Amino acid sequence: MTFKDKNVIQSYFIGWFLASVIWQLLWNTDRVDVNAYLATFQGRLTIFVLAWLFQAIGFGALHLLIEHYIKGKVRFVKLIAFTLTLQFITGVALLTCLFFLFRYLGIVEANVSLSKFYSQKVIHVAFIFALLTNFSIVLFIYINLMLGNGNLWKIITGKFYTPRVEERIFMFLDLRGSTTIAEKLGHVKYSRLIQDCFYDLAVVHNHKAEIYQYVGDEVVLAWNVKDGLQHHNCLHAFYAFRDVLNSRKDHYKMNYETVPVFKAGMNMGKITITEVGEFKREIAYHGDTINTASRIQGECNRLGSDLLVPGHLLDKLQTIDTLKAELKGEVQLKGKVKSINIYAIDGRS
């Protein structure tokens, strides 16, 4: 299960848990044909847990199937409409299953038929409530994806409204030979190439990377230090992305007559994080650390390497298992007073 899949499932479990709590607080058991069992704490707890799990698992699994089938090929509005339509159909199936399960457990009286069950006003209200719950969860998932995982909650809570200093790892990824490729393909086809590449970039989430920013054919990744160093996520994310591109080389050759290759520069250090903007708010990183990462990436062509890291980051990584580090020497980066040791990381070793 991918990082994105886990987030989807988590959103449905949390969303439907909160919705089930609200429903239990508002639901009047006298308005539906049930026995006295529901008046007890055990009865209400049973129906709460069953309804929560059925709907969280059912709707969450459906959402994953839709995501894997569509794979970003449908516009945002159509994607929401398509998802909610299928969830409506699934809701009928789930409610029917719950009816027979409740009747088997004795929660619903044995003489209550399915048609009578569906004819009750409380069931109609429950169905509308379910659709509104699913709409809220789907909207939250897609807005969270657009802003970057976790950023929506950070903006809502105002976590970075006041600038704060933290330590981060950054990676600047840039397409090799982008100017030549753009001239060859033309603007529209080149944009489709970048779309495909950045869609495949989703694999870096499996290595706990945050996609901070897209700038033309360049993308900036970020990690908190613990996640980035753990299992060498900050290095393996790059090679995981490269492997995905290579695994789809036939697709790229057929559609764009080239297999995209990305180069990357990394850095680690303290930066300032703050919320910026009034009409388009986002979480922004400021400081020399991120600028230096960009400068290091700019040395890839000259040093003949796809992935460059500074010595102080390599020291933190300690042993780098299957990867080989080669010292490229002390490099005087543009705009820097002191030179720094730069290492090339080879993933073929």
What averages of pLDDT result for each successive group of 10 residues across the chain (349 residues)?
74 88 70 52 72 81 77 65 80 81 74 79 80 85 72 69 88 92 92 92 90 89 92 92 94 93 94 81 84 89 90 82 77 72 76
Comparing CA positions, the residue from 167, 166, 340, 170 lying closest to residue 267 is 170
200 contacts: CB under 8 Å, gap ≥ 6: 241, 244, 245, 248
CB of 212 closer than 8 Å to CB of 220: yes
Q: At what angle do helices 3-26 and 41-70 cross, to 10 degrees?
A: 150
DSSP assignment, residue 348?
Answer: T
> Would you state the structure tokens that stand for residue 277, as one six-digit string?
């903007």
Domains within the chain, CATH numbers bracketed = 3-147 (no CATH), 151-346 (3.30.70.1230)
Say if residue 152 is exposed, middle or buried (CB neighbours under 10 Å; 0-12, 13-18, 19+): middle
pTM comes to 0.71
What whole-number distance in Å separates Cα of residue 325 and Cα of residue 348? 11
What whole-number distance in Å separates Cα of residue 88 and Cα of residue 309? 50
What whole-number distance in Å separates Cα of residue 105 and Cα of residue 117? 16
DSSP secondary structure, 300-319, as one string: HHHHT-SEEEEHHHHHHH--
User: Which residues sit opposite 268 in a β-bridge?
Assistant: 169
R_g of the chain, CA atoms, integer Å: 26
CB of 139 closer than 8 Å to CB of 68: no
